[in-house]
Amino acid sequence: MTLEDQTIIVTGSGRGIGRYIAKRLARDGASIVLTARTEREIEQVYNEITGNGGRAIYIRGDAAREKDVKAVIGEALKKFGRIDALVNNAGIGVRKYLWETGVKEFEDVMDVNVKGVFLYMKHIIPEMRKRGGLIINISSEAGKTGIPTLSAYCASKFAVIGLTEAAAGEVENRTKIVALCPGSVDVGMFKLMFPGEKADLEPEEVAEKVADICNHPEKYNSGQSIVF
Ligand SMILES: NC(=O)c1ccc[n+]([C@@H]2O[C@H](COP(=O)([O-])OP(=O)(O)OC[C@H]3O[C@@H](n4cnc5c(N)ncnc54)[C@H](OP(=O)(O)O)[C@@H]3O)[C@@H](O)[C@H]2O)c1
């Protein structure tokens, strides 16, 4: 099992892409820290992973709240003694014309998709600077190209790439930070926002890509946006 000694936090792992990522990394032997706001969903994923002989813990938390982020990282360290990788996957979307997007809707998207990524990086990088680590920030194709009706979401996903590139330049070589930019994925928010439309990717393909990055970080450059 290639990730046997590793502890990996996957945010937003109660459903959607995050659930696939968590289960895929657990299959390679990683100890998974599951977190999201809905406890019964992360508990369900925990049961699926441990039921298959994997290792995991689940901790309820809001990625946009600093207190929660510190608690998740603290619990992970208490339980496993180390954090090798972080997958910043938690995110929300809104599909509206810019002029119809409410200020609160805009703020909520920024809070989770940008502040959440910032907070997790802010509190985990000092840990990773001690012994190295890997951060995979889930951006999107919408973080590279402006897509009509997704202005707030695009702004947030472009920002994730900015955070990734800037932070990658700040840390030593032992810590690698990349952004993953998938096209549309046939699960979760895509199904809600684009009902009936065909997606570019299956969630298993995104999970496989994340597993490849965790298993072969040497194939990727720090600060890179991995588009696929
Ligand atoms: N689906 C796509 O086509 C697609 C394409 C490219 C990129 N992405 C990105 O992939 C990620 C996952 O998307 P998805 O489609 O799987 O979405 P999803 O099915 O809606 O799942 C989102 C996950 O994030 C969690 N989450 C949301 N707000 C949170 C918060 N404040 N704190 C902690 N967890 C929170 C949700 O749980 P709770 O609500 O219980 O907290 C849930 O577990 C997002 O970053 C998204 O932007 C998606």
**Contact status, residue 20 vs residue 204, Cβ threshold 8 Å:** yes
Q: Give the pLDDT of residue 1.
A: 82
Token readout for 187 is 């699960």
Contacts 24+ apart (CB under 8 A), 57-60: 57/31, 57/32, 57/33, 58/33, 58/34, 59/33, 59/34, 59/35, 60/35, 60/36
Token pair 């065909």: residue: 198
* Residues contacting residue 93 through CB under 8 Å, at least 6 positions apart: 109, 150, 153, 189, 192, 193
190 C-alpha vs ligand 1 centroid, how far in Å? 10
**pLDDT score for 217:** 98
- Residue where the block lists tokens 């952004």: 179
Q: What are phi and psi for residue 14, nearest 5 degrees?
A: -85, -25
Print pLDDT tens along the chain (228 aa): 899 999 999 999 999 999 999 999 999 999 999 999 999 999 999 999 999 999 999 999 999 999 999 999 999 999 999 999 999 999 999 999 999 999 999 999 999 999 999 999 999 999 999 999 999 999 999 999 999 999 999 999 999 999 999 999 999 889 999 999 999 999 989 999 999 999 999 999 999 999 999 999 999 999 999 999
Domains and CATH numbers, the chain: 7-227 (3.40.50.720)
E strands along 45-184, which residues? Answer: 55-60, 85-88, 133-138, 175-181
Nearest to 91 by CA among 13, 169, 21: 13
pLDDT for the residue numbered 20: 98
Rounded CA separation 135/220 (Å): 12
Residue 156's φ and ψ, nearest 5 degrees, are: -70, -40
153 is catalytic: yes
- The preferred substitution site among 11, 13, 15 for testing ligand 1, maximizing ligand atoms within 8 Å of CB, is 15
pLDDT at res. 103: 98
Please give the pLDDT value at position 78: 98
pLDDT at 120: 99
Predicted TM-score (pTM) above 0.85:
yes
Helix 203-215 to helix 16-27 angle (10° resolution) is: 40
CA–centroid distance, 16 to ligand 1, in Å, is 7
pLDDT at 169: 97
Q: Which atom of ligand 1 is nearest to the CA of 38?
A: 40
Q: Which of 46, 58, 120, 153 is catalytic?
A: 153
